[in-house]
Amino acid sequence: MYTATGIFWQAIFFEGVTLIAPASVNRPAGPNRDDGGYWRMAMGHCDVCGNEYDKTMQIKQQGRTGIFDSFECAINAMAPTCTHCGCRIIGHGVEADGKIFCCAHCARTAGVKQFRA
Residue 25 and residue 37 in one domain: yes
Number of domains in the chain: 3
Whether residues 73 and 92 fall in one domain: no
In a domain, 116, yes or no: no
Assess whether 84 and 73 both reside in one domain: no
Residue 117 forms part of a structural domain: no
Same domain, 33 and 4: yes
Cβ atoms < 10 Å from Cβ of 31: 17
Residue 28 pLDDT exceeds 50? no
Which structural domain range is residue 91 located in? 80-109
Query: Do residue 12 and residue 23 come from a single domain?
Result: yes
Are 56 and 29 within one domain?
no
Is 114 contained in some domain? no
**pTM for this model (two decimals):** 0.58
Question: Span 30-41, mean pLDDT?
Answer: 54
**Does 88 reside within a domain?**
yes
Q: Do 38 and 1 lie in a common domain?
A: yes
In tens, the pLDDT along 54-85 reads 889 999 998 999 999 999 999 999 999 999 99
Tell me, letter by letter, the H, E, C secondary structure of the chain. Answer: CEEECCEEEEEEEECCEEEEEECCCCCCCCCCCCCCCCCCCCCEECCCCCCEECCCEEEEECCEEEEECCHHHHHHHHCCECCCCCCECCCCCEEECCEEECCHHHHHHCCCCCCEC
